[in-house]
Every structure is written in C-alpha cells, then in structure tokens.
Amino acid sequence: MGGTQDVERPAGGLELIDVHKVYGQGGVAVHALRGVTLRVAPGEMLAVMGPSGSGKSTLMNIIGCLDRPTSGIYRIAGEEVGVKTDDELARLRNRRLGFVFQNYNLLPQLTALQNVELPLVYQGVRPARRREAALRALRAVGLEHRLHHRPAELSGGQQQRVAVARAIVTEPDVILADEPTGSLDSASGAEILAMFQALHRAGRTLVLVTHSEEVALHCERIVRLQDGRVVNDEPVPADRRRRAAPPGGDAA
Ligand SMILES: Nc1ncnc2c1ncn2[C@@H]1O[C@H](COP(=O)(O)OP(=O)(O)OP(=O)(O)O)[C@@H](O)[C@H]1O
Ligand SMILES: [Mg+2]
C-alpha cells in the first residue's frame, strides 16, 4: 500500500542488530542465536528457513516480543524492545503483532468467535465492538458459517483460518507465523498462503518460518539460518515467486 514515505520509521519495520540468545547457563548453556543482524522493511513478506535447531523459533520469539535477546538490539517500528518493561512489551505485542502457530493454539473450550475476540478482550475493547471486529475477521477468512463451532468441531484448515482471524483482529502491523502450513494438507495450506499474500498486499509485514521451499517461494525474500547465524539472505526472483490461488471451492 502506498503509505506516505516521509515517516522515518513506518509501522511494520523490524531491525535486529547482532542479536544473541543463550538459553540456560554454564555447562548447559545453549547458544541458539549467534549474532543475527536482520532488517525487515515495513510491508515486506519474508520467509525464514533452516534446519531443525538452527534458531528459527528462537528468532520468531524475539521478533514477537515473547522473549528478549541475551544481547544485541531489537527494534520494532523504531522502538527498542530491550529497554521496555514486561508490561510495555505485552502492550507492544498486543498492539503491533499477530501470531499464527503450527498447531493453531486455539482455546478448546471457546467457540471460533470467542477465540477471535480474545485479543480484544485483553485490549479492553467493549463487547459490541469486539464482536463486530471478530465477525469481520472471520468473514475475511471465509468462516462466517462456523462462528459457534469449537476447535474440535473444525477441520485443521478451518482451525488455522480461525487462528489467522485471531491474528488479524487487532489489525497488527506485523504478522508472525511459525510453520503455519506444517500441519495442513496442500489445499488448506494454499488457502492460508493466499490469505497471507492478501495481507501482504494490504501492507502488512509478514515473517513466516517454514521447512518447505515451495512455501518459502510465496514470499519476497528468504533468510536462511544455520547454527544460530544467517547464512543466506536473498530475494525470491520474480519468475520463481509463487502465487497461492485464492480459496475457490470451499469444501465447507
Ligand atoms: N527454552 C529453551 N531452553 C533451552 N534451549 C532451547 C530452548 N528453546 C530452544 N532451545 C535450543 O535452542 C536451539 C534453537 O532452537 P529453535 O527452537 O529456535 O530451533 P528451530 O530452528 O525452530 O527448530 P525446528 O525447525 O525444529 O522448530 C536448539 O538447540 C534448541 O534445543
Ligand atoms: Mg521451531
């Protein structure tokens, strides 16, 4: 989206400078990130790849303000995360970030609508506005006919669509997805990728972890990690870029 260019640090930009993450201490310490420097422009759609244990989820947890770097600098929209209190961090997370996980992470006892409303409950949004926004988000993912179903009553693809609705209901600048298609068949995966590409076209920043080259080719750029370091960082050439078919025949 053609936003104004005179803003010095527009909303969805991410900046990591020499970020390290060490879990544990002493003999059992695991050095999960070893000096990651990475800039993601606002509105960019980025894939993060790398072998198991290379630090992808650790990186996502830091980008998502779920965890802090052991050292180094992380800025989101120009705001330095390291200097914030836990409360400030929680607010930043709620305001700017949306999360999608491999296993959906929906609350089993809540309906689709209630799951999507939840981030707005935490924001203190009033019930009527909350419901309206959740309905809009569920409509955007094509689930207006499943509002009162609980997760166990939905297919995996539908559960992930609820998770996408929950991620976008707060209208975050940045959407983070760790293996969002990892548990889905290829048709359901393609639907999720089509939604991410639509969000990208709407100006959101997306960072997506995947083990699949095919999924990664739906992004603009691929960053590869190995042993906690960025070993490769390249744009996806236009002629290799994949476009996910928008959901057509929904087998609802
Ligand atoms: N909470 C933790 N405590 C201790 N070590 C951890 C913790 N989380 C991750 N690690 C270690 O940090 C390293 C990076 O883990 P991470 O989960 O980031 O890998 P990953 O690239 O996401 O792997 P996968 O593809 O299997 O999901 C691994 O060696 C892992 O064992
Ligand atoms: Mg992981």
5 pLDDT more than 50: no
56 alpha carbon to ligand 2 midpoint, in Å?
A: 5
Q: What is the pLDDT of residue 183?
A: 94
Q: 58: Cβ below 6 Å to ligand 1?
A: yes
- The Cα 154–Cα 4 span in angstroms is 41
Nearest atom in ligand 1 to 23's CA: 4
159 pLDDT more than 70: yes
Main-chain dihedrals φ then ψ at residue 129, nearest 5 degrees? -70, -35
211 alpha carbon to ligand 1 midpoint, in Å?
A: 15
Kindly report, residue by residue over 196-231, the tens digit of the pLDDT. 999 999 999 999 999 999 999 999 999 999 999 999
7 pLDDT more than 60: no
Write down the pTM of the prediction.
Answer: 0.92
| For the chain, domain boundaries | 42-57+94-240
Tracing tokens 């009553």 back to the chain, one arrives at 153
Residue 44 contacts residue 205 (beta carbons within 8 Å): yes
Q: What is the pLDDT of residue 9?
A: 41
What's the alpha-carbon Rg for the chain, to the nearest Å? Answer: 18
Q: 50: Cβ below 6 Å to ligand 1?
A: yes
Taking CA atoms only, the protein residue closest to ligand 1 atom 18 is 55
Q: 52: Cβ below 6 Å to ligand 1?
A: yes
Nearest atom in ligand 1 to 225's CA: 21
Nearest atom in ligand 1 to 179's CA: 27
- The Cα 23–Cα 117 span in angstroms is 34
Q: What is the CATH number of domain 42-57+94-240?
A: 3.40.50.300
Q: 32: Cβ below 6 Å to ligand 1?
A: yes
